[in-house]
Structure 1
Amino acid sequence: MEFLEINPELYKACEIALKQCLGVKEGESVLIIADEPERKIGYSLWMKAKELNTEAVYIEIIPRKMHGEEPPKPVAEAMKVADVVIAPTSKSITHTLAKKEACERGARVATLPGITEEIFIRTMNADYEEILALTNKIADILDNGSTVQITTSLGTDLEFSIEGRKAMRSTGVYRNPGECGNLPGAEAYIAPVEGTANGTVVIDGSMAGIGVLKNPIKLIVQDGFVEKIEGGDEAKKLEEILSRYGKEARNIAEFGIGTNPKARISGNILEDEKVFGTVHIALGSNYDFGGKVKAPIHLDGIIKKPTVLIDGKYLFRDGNLVI
């Protein structure tokens, strides 16, 4: 295990993740799920969990082919009986039934898809109490909202309904049974009502499965689905990815708002979707957070400097919060 030498900064970030964010207590069962690209972070979390006198378990899975693909069945079963699950994996298990069922059984679950040491160290040093307050404030507005309109100077003009839907609060602080979300934390997100999204989305930050965009990707949305994708090579790549998964992969699945001031657009969607002053639209599955669509894919696209109106009232104007 000489290749898994502990980096002191990484080890400190693991301590913040386990103690401050997940509130890990002595004697609790802590399940760490990693894959080969995330082995060093996974092993460091296991070492720290062991040091905290927990029942620390490390499982390494074969990397999934796509974000949103289920983990192996034995791993899904193990997740259901753990007190705490923390999953640094190269492909996201955030929007899986395994995670949903583990949370329903009372596990506290933090997923860290595609995390790098640099991002982990940087974003774990944010003020998580401040992020908690901001995320809850924005989520409360979404909870009480009915209609959303997003516009940008590059041509985004999308409207959809969120009536009757409840926002998820990925605060980075998951200390109570059943609480779950990403680490780094910091987004409020909601499933738009299926079939209600219409208009144009211009993704200009980054796109899951592609990275930081050189050229914007334009999505033409009709009755809740992406009907057309326009742009350069990156738009073609997105079309190629979606074409493997059928119509439900084109569902407007999520509207999310980043709330972490330490995050920056790096090409890693885990960090990118948390950047304060951005919003994101995701395509594909939303079943695990209040929607009705089950798809084997969930891809987020980041929109910079958005203007957002909830029921006609400004929430953001050109990326600046106005509440």
Structure 2
Amino acid sequence: MKSKKGAKVIIETCMGVKPGENVLFVTQEGFEETANILASEVSVLKANPVIKIVKGSEMEVEPPQEVVDLMLSSDVILAVLDLRYLQLFAHMNARARATNAGARAGLVPFILWDITEEDVLRIKNLTERLAEIMGEGKEARISTALGTDVIMSIKGRPVQQLKAVFTEPGEWGAVPFYAEAAVAPIEGTTQGKAVIDVFMERVGAIKQPMEWTIKDGKLVEIKGGKEADMLKQIIKEADENATNIGELGVGTNHFFKNFTGTIGDKMVLGTIHLAIGKSINIGGKVMSNIHHDAVINKATLEIDGKKVLDRGKCLI
């Protein structure tokens, strides 16, 4: 019953599923129960659920062609996958093609039974307000007590809204709680030092903070312990654009207060994250075979000199 309550919020509030719509579930072994619970709520609304099970290995770069075809013929797409594959799915060309064609896409790691419609709408409103501020801004500056001090140009760049509510054609993001406003910095403009102290994708929870030196939009030096060594290896094995600073993201979820050592940490209100690698699918111009987020806690964020966050406290 608890899962059913959470599923109802995802299907009705987050995705706004309507009677007659074609709703595709892309899922993997171990997640079928979650997909079935969500699909039952789709059926209650007299919409048309289709569940497609894939192997994780089939989702490393792009989905199988059969899945792509289904995505392009669906009104709503719900990816019910492991967090790792959800992150990959978000930046796939297939996802971009489907949403550009008008599909609404939701990324679902699990059903959060105790989140309410009111929580979801609060997340939506904050994300929209922050995205408006960032979208009108020219320069962003991030700083922390640990020594982060980074500036970048964001002038003219579209702001992606992962706002937990995706009811308009072409909208996409994670549901029911995963929330951020994100922008791709103008290539070559990011400068400064960033201290990564929470989490980094493919590295894990950060025990010894990593210090990044960024010059002309590239990560040029990494200092730290084991985590820094892991990141150096990731970059070594990636392509020539792996060091591009491809994203500034700002968490907008008030619901979670504690870090989990997973990619979900980047949604927590009061954090920001910087990504290395690909930016082309979020409004930038750089293609890479990686896109990895690194989370910074208790951040101060200024847009054109005006504080939006102050040491993790939201000011809007």
TM-score bracket for this pair, using the shorter chain length: over 0.9
Take 2:113 and 2:209, find their aligned partners in 1: how far apart are those partners?
A: 29
Q: How many angstroms does 1:52 deviate by? A: 3.0
| Corresponding residue SS for 2:31 | helix
Task: State TM-score, norm by structure 2.
Answer: 0.92
Corresponding residue for 2:20? 27
Take 2:280 and 2:139, find their aligned partners in 1: how far apart are those partners?
A: 20
| Corresponding residue SS for 1:127 | helix
Take 2:192 and 2:314, find their aligned partners in 1: how far apart are those partners?
A: 23
Corresponding residue for 1:155? 147
- For 1:163-191, what per-residue CA distance to the aligned partner results, in whole angstroms no more than 9, with x for missing partners? 11121111111111111111224211111
Q: How many angstroms does 1:64 deviate by? A: 4.1
- For 1:244-302, what per-residue CA distance to the aligned partner results, in whole angstroms no more than 9, with x for missing partners? 21221221111111111112421221x21110111111111111111111222211111
- Give runs of aligned pairs for residues 1-323 of structure 1, distance below 5 A: 8-64=1-57, 69-90=61-82, 91=85, 92=87, 93-112=89-108, 115-116=109-110, 120-121=112-113, 127-183=119-175, 184-263=177-256, 264-269=258-263, 271-323=264-316
Q: How many angstroms does 1:11 deviate by? A: 2.5
One-letter amino acid of the structure 2 residue matched with residue 105 of structure 1: A
Take 1:11 and 1:242, find their aligned partners in 2: how far apart are those partners?
A: 42
One-letter amino acid of the structure 2 residue matched with residue 57 of structure 1: V
CA contact (8 A) 1:145 1:311 kept: yes
| Corresponding residue SS for 2:5 | helix
Q: How many angstroms does 1:126 deviate by? A: 6.1
Task: State TM-score, norm by structure 1.
Answer: 0.90
**Shift in alpha-carbon separation, 1:256–1:76, aligned structure 2, 3 A:** same
Q: How many angstroms does 1:319 deviate by? A: 0.8
Uncovered stretches (5+) of structure 2, i.e. residues with no partner: none
| Corresponding residue SS for 1:249 | coil
Take 1:77 and 1:54, find their aligned partners in 2: how far apart are those partners?
A: 19
CA contact (8 A) 1:219 1:229 kept: yes
| Corresponding residue SS for 1:254 | strand
Q: How many angstroms does 1:121 deviate by? A: 3.3
**Shift in alpha-carbon separation, 1:21–1:116, aligned structure 2, 3 A:** closer
Number of equivalent positions: 310
Uncovered stretches (5+) of structure 1, i.e. residues with no partner: 1-7
Corresponding residue for 1:4? none
CA contact (8 A) 1:64 1:71 kept: no
Percent identity of equivalent pairs: 35
One-letter amino acid of the structure 2 residue matched with residue 94 of structure 1: A
CA contact (8 A) 1:173 1:185 kept: no
RMSD: 1.8
One-letter amino acid of the structure 2 residue matched with residue 224 of structure 1: G
| Corresponding residue SS for 1:110 | strand
CA contact (8 A) 1:126 1:260 kept: no
**Shift in alpha-carbon separation, 1:262–1:179, aligned structure 2, 3 A:** same
Take 1:159 and 1:289, find their aligned partners in 2: how far apart are those partners?
A: 19
Q: How many angstroms does 1:72 deviate by? A: 1.7
| Corresponding residue SS for 2:275 | strand
**Shift in alpha-carbon separation, 1:135–1:11, aligned structure 2, 3 A:** same
